[in-house]
Structure 1
Amino acid sequence: MDIGDDVFRDGMAQAGFPAPLVEMRSEYCAAVRAGTVDVVTDDVARLLRRPARDYRTWAAANAAAFAALTANPSR
């Protein structure tokens, strides 16, 4: 959801975030929208010695564990 830079900055400031953080996050979001932070590395594969998985695959593989936590939140 693209809310616009001014709305984003104002919301962050109204929530009490310091100005330098508001500026940094705003610049980061602009870079994401521009497609300049889509760096892909092989770090995960090298560290885990297996191919990286996308979020959808990871979530599906761990759905039962999350369901158990929501069924018994005191765990």
Structure 2
Amino acid sequence: MPLQDAKDYIAMSSGPKTVQFYDADHALNAKAGVDRDEFLHKKTQVSALTRLIATFQPCHGTSSETPQHPGANTD
């Protein structure tokens, strides 16, 4: 999005806000990621480490069995 378009869009929104712009491609750069994590921590009291751990928790459905490779010998 062009910078001026972003500024115009922000100007139209109501309520208190903090706006920061980062020189990055579509993905956030490292500084933007750190700032995002700090903001979320302040607002939610959830640490970045807690969110990271939750992101990588294995999800194997409701079964307590260890998933097997389709070709694994189960004898």
Question: Where on the TM-score scale, by shorter chain, does this alignment land: which range?
Answer: 0.3 to 0.5
Give the TM-score of the pair, scaled to structure 1.
Answer: 0.32
Give the TM-score of the pair, scaled to structure 2.
Answer: 0.32
**Higher relative contact order (CA closer than 8 Å, sequence separation 6+):** 1
Which one has the largest radius of gyration? Answer: 2
**Greater percentage in helix:** 1
